[in-house]
Amino acid sequence: MGLLVVGTPLPWEQALEWLLHVRRNGILQFLETYHRVKDIRGDVLKWGDELEYGIFEIDHEAKTVRLSLRGSEILHELMEKEEKFHRADHPEEECNWVPEYGAWMVEATPRVPYGNFTSDLRRVEQSMRLRRARLLSALKKNEIAPTVTAFPLLGVGDYITPPVVKRGPIANSLYISDSIINPHPRFGTLTANIRKRRTQNVDIRVPLFKDVYTKQMLEDEAAWVAEHARPTYGDATSDIRSPGSRSPGSRSSASHSPLRSSLGSPLKNGSRSPVTTEVNDIKLSLDSEPVFKKLRRRQSSFTEQCEPYTGFIHMDAMAFGMGMCCLQVTFQAKNIDESRHLYDHLGVLSPIMLALTAATPILKGRLADTDVRWATIAASVDDRTPQERGVADASEAPANYSKMAGNGVKRLPKSRYEGISAFICNHKNGDDCHANLDHYNDVDIPYDEESYKTLVDNGVDDILAKHIAHLFIRDPLVLFEQRLHLDNKTATDHFENIQSTNWQTVRWKPPPPPTDGAAPPHIGWRTEFRSMEIQLTDFENAAFSVFMALVSRVILAFDLNLYVPLSKVNANMEIAHRVNAAVEESFYFRRHLAPPDVNECHQANCHVQCNATCLDDATKCIHGAESYETMTIAEIMLGKGCYYPGLIPLVNAYLDYINCDDTTRSLLDKYLALIAKRATGELPTAATWMRRFVCSHPEYAHDSVVTSGIAHDLMDACAKIGEGTQQCPELLGEIKIEPIRGNTGYQVPLKSDSVDTEKRCELLKRYI
């Protein structure tokens, strides 16, 4: 993630003096890039995925699973091997390994991006399996690397060896040790500076899933805490409030939504609304005796488990968010207009795909009442001051705030980690009804005025200037002493510094700066889709990556229009968090995707929705109906009524249209079938599957607590499913995963290119 410069990062107190310098020069660097590359035309599709991995230590006898903090060691071993076995003629057999936030994590991408052919779609799963095999080959006997979003016991008990040191100088966390942060200075500085800018620890509260004995567990826990009177919360260096007390400006705890309370109200208030804190008294139909035994056994874990906010899982450090793993895909566009067009459309799809790939039901040893990671990460890197968050008065701002963007007091409704804030495509304005952007951009976009003015004065159009100036309402967080004074014509560090710490569901990526020396492969305008959760198997990760590649082609080839107002995209993000939203919720989605003439419906019984032959102002049909409605993901994927065809049928139409070859098509059929089954609920999401795993585990006491034994069994199963050594029809239906032979060692290619003379002589001498 982000730039890994070798240098000395500035602590926040010193960084403050340079914030404006970096923001101003970042804009100038963007302008240099923009004017250099805005006229690139005719790039072909290149694309690639990113997979993030966590490495855990498993002990089958003690039934424990912990973080293995060997990420850097493993990373370097794998990088060295890629170098050693490098084959210029077969770059597709190579992987690119990069560090990630957690000291237990690594990230990998294909060494060269996939190309423009149908056969490239078959490379994706192969590349992912290769990466998994290589990673497995670098693990010790007692290590596993299941592809799960969150380590289920992060911050609970002895989840690392040596045991946890709390309240370290970097994260100042009550739950986690600084030693779990990647040792590269960038990551620690990022963590500390987010906390310092915010003036407090980050404060993550995720609603706790309420099971039949959860209330009992909470009461027991409270009693235990009262009895043992542990003065854990609210030391002088932190903002953690004791249970019951409230921060200034926060609403009552019952109505406090940790999930972006700034957004519009949820579409529908189901019984599982994430904001509900009431615990219902549920009549027990279970055999209560064994359950209470389990509960008693649990008492000892209260020392680690007790939660300061009833009804919520509380977390207080960046690692809880940035320690999660995800699946991202990046597409190169043929030109800047196409990259902007894709940005908007992928922005609309991001909450849908977040819900469909849901894989995060467990946080900090508890079942959550949400299924996805997004809001947790958003809160984990929320560096806004109390004034920016709207919980303190601007007049109370300290003097040094004036050095920060927006003087540290400009009201900012979102964290740096969020859904997209604006639609940015304008190239279709005027020639059809696609881009009535003012209507769709119906949510205020706070932006940095000075940046906006510089951009507009230098030839950037209004909405793009707003998008960039919106990124620049944030301060740079990690400044390297050695990289402050740069040539804006050739360096983009300052721009990238801010761009790469605005973590939105979609990222619009300008081409990188030119380099000296050997010409690197050309990289054009790219759009990165960032919302998907990582899946347990490479089959699934490939299915979702390939699906997004195909949907992006369909959008372009069929000139689809997916726009809904941004406020509805925001609402969809919130809906996506609900338990089993993939099947049980509805999302705002556009009714008519195709240009007006295609929308005409010939079915007599279907008027208002279907007869809308003209969406003249791009939003309402001639009968005044809105251009969107609510749909389930099954409908979004498979179609609704006679007016909305569904994304999967559109993909199939596209594959017919391009004459996709049969070999590829049969693989794509499997991918599309998986996605359809996930959407209809015929197969569960990873989140639902994990929830069921916990709930049916003999050690589970129906009190929302995921014990060490359960976590061990779950991670063990996830690892085996990913490696193909245990099949999982409940998750994958009839799909079987071929075993990955990583633990037999690093697989080397059979070379046949001729060995140079010197080497040959040396070898022959040794063996003859």
Single residue of 1, 75, 576, 714 touching Mg ion by CB under 5 A: 1
How would you classify the pairing of strands 503-504 and 417-418? parallel
According to the binding rule CB under 5 A, does residue 341 interact with Mg ion? yes
> Closer to Mg ion at the Cβ: 320 or 700?
320
Scanning 341-349, 652-660, 689-697, 752-760 for contacts with Mg ion by CB under 5 A, the matching segment is: 341-349
Per-position DSSP letters for 132-176, written without gaps between them: HHHHHHTS-TTEE----SS-TTTTSSS-SSSPP--S-TTT--SS-
Question: How many residues sit close enough to Mg ion to count as binding (CB under 5 A)?
Answer: 9
Residue pair 570/263 in contact (Cβ under 8 Å)? The answer is yes
484 binds, among Mg ion, ligand ADP, none (CB under 5 to 8 A by kind): none
Scanning 44-52, 73-81, 242-250, 369-377 for contacts with Mg ion by CB under 5 A, the matching segment is: 44-52
Per-position DSSP letters for 476-519, written without gaps between them: P---BGGGSS--TTT--HHHHHHHTT-EESEEEEPPPPP-SSSP
How would you classify the pairing of strands 47-54 and 56-59? unpaired
CA–CA separation, 748 vs 319, rounded Å? 35
How would you classify the pairing of strands 95-99 and 105-110? antiparallel
> Closer to Mg ion at the Cβ: 367 or 555?
555
Scanning 41-49, 486-494, 639-647, 687-695 for contacts with ligand ADP by CB under 6 A, the matching segment is: 41-49
> Closer to Mg ion at the Cβ: 50 or 496?
50
Residue type, 349: L
Helix, strand, coil: what percent of the chain each, to 5? 40, 10, 50
Single residue of 332, 441, 552, 609 touching ligand ADP by CB under 6 A: 332
Residue type, 324: M
> Closer to Mg ion at the Cβ: 98 or 491?
98
> Closer to Mg ion at the Cβ: 50 or 221?
50
Tell me how far, at minimum, the Cβ of 545 lies from Mg ion, in Å.
13
Q: What is the CA angle 149-152-157, rounded to 5?
A: 145
Tell me how far, at minimum, the Cβ of 511 lies from ligand ADP, in Å.
8
| Residue number, nearest CB to ligand ADP | 48
CA–CA separation, 343 vs 517, rounded Å? 32
What's the chain's length in residues? 768
Single residue of 214, 330, 505, 685 touching ligand ADP by CB under 6 A: 330
Question: How many residues sit close enough to ligand ADP to count as binding (CB under 6 A)?
Answer: 16
Scanning 67-75, 480-488, 521-529, 760-768 for contacts with ligand ADP by CB under 6 A, the matching segment is: 521-529
Is 411 buried (19+), middle (13-18) or exposed (0-12) by CB count in 10 A?
middle
According to the binding rule CB under 6 A, does residue 497 interact with ligand ADP? no
According to the binding rule CB under 5 A, does residue 328 interact with Mg ion? yes
CA–CA separation, 348 vs 588, rounded Å? 10
Scanning 17-25, 48-56, 498-506, 571-579 for contacts with Mg ion by CB under 5 A, the matching segment is: 48-56
Is 710 buried (19+), middle (13-18) or exposed (0-12) by CB count in 10 A?
buried
CA–CA separation, 715 vs 733, rounded Å? 20
According to the binding rule CB under 6 A, does residue 48 interact with ligand ADP? yes
Scanning 124-132, 324-332, 381-389, 437-445 for contacts with ligand ADP by CB under 6 A, the matching segment is: 324-332
According to the binding rule CB under 5 A, does residue 70 interact with Mg ion? no
Look up tokens 């990556």; give the residue: 545
Single residue of 32, 43, 49, 50 touching Mg ion by CB under 5 A: 50
Site string for Mg ion, 101-140 (x = CB under 5 A): ------x---------------------------------
Tell me how far, at minimum, the Cβ of 489 lies from ligand ADP, in Å.
22
Single residue of 25, 64, 109, 216 touching ligand ADP by CB under 6 A: 109
The pair of structure tokens assigned to 562 is 């997916």
Which positions lie near ligand ADP, rule CB under 6 A?
1, 46-50, 98, 109-110, 113, 330-332, 523, 526, 528
